[in-house]
Amino acid sequence: FAEPATDGSTRGGAIVVGKVGPDGQIVLEDSKKPTIDVLASPPVVTSRCYLDVSIGGRKAGRVVIDLYGQVAPKAADNFRALCTGEKGYGYAGSSFYTVLSGLTVQGGQIIGGPYSGSGPNYVGPTFAHDNYSIKHNAAGLVSMVNSGKGGSSGQSDSRFLIQLVGDAGFLDGRYEAFGRVTSGMEVIRKVEGVPVSGTKNKPLEECRMDAAGELPLETATPA
């Protein structure tokens, strides 16, 4: 996530998507320009999931995330299935592995499953992004972490990020948003406040997803 753009350009230490115009503004490719503002016109919620989080072995609370399966069907269903663990592996028991204070917290290195890797954490199979339709203009947005170096591949896996700031437009066109935290953002703020170490900003206390699952949503519309 924190890699530089493939063209080597950065602005204020952040990843730059596309090219920088003469006025210093980022110019996105037309196919990657977001069109959906979740604050002005929230997408239809197709499913609702939860993460029960602990910090350093102490219960921190529940995070509830609404998913936009009509906008991003593959990403939303992948996240939902990893919350329920219906494939035999998922988010339960995994941890938030990177905290970038004032930007994002990142998690989703799944526990178990058939995917090779070192240690107990694995990354799920990759799949192509649905689109880049949702603007990264709201705290609590949940996006897939791009599996390519510098966010260049257009592929997702099991890893996700939760946006901590209202304006993260530099994520547009590179990271696919598919849902938003609707309850428990204060829990994510607790994770944000945990001291970190190393170049990967790993929390010094384990920020663990003790349980994950799907909540009933009577008004949900099938994707």
Domain ranges of the chain: 31-215
Distances (CA, A) of 119 to 111, 112, 157: 10, 10, 18
Between CA 107 and CA 117, with CA 113 as vertex, the angle to 5 degrees is: 70
**What is the reported pLDDT for 60?**
98
**What is the pTM assigned to this prediction?**
0.81
Q: Measuring CA to CA, which residue among 99, 146, 153, 100 is closest to residue 123?
A: 146
Spatial separation of the C-alpha atoms in residues 12 and 16, rounded to whole Å: 9
**What is the reported pLDDT for 64?**
97
**What is the reported pLDDT for 18?**
47
**What is the reported pLDDT for 7?**
33
Per CATH, domain 31-215 is 2.40.100.10: yes
Residue ranges of the chain with per-residue pLDDT less than 70: 1-32, 112-124, 148-153, 219-223
The answer to whether the beta carbons of residues 77 and 211 sit under 8 Å apart is no
**What is the reported pLDDT for 8?**
31
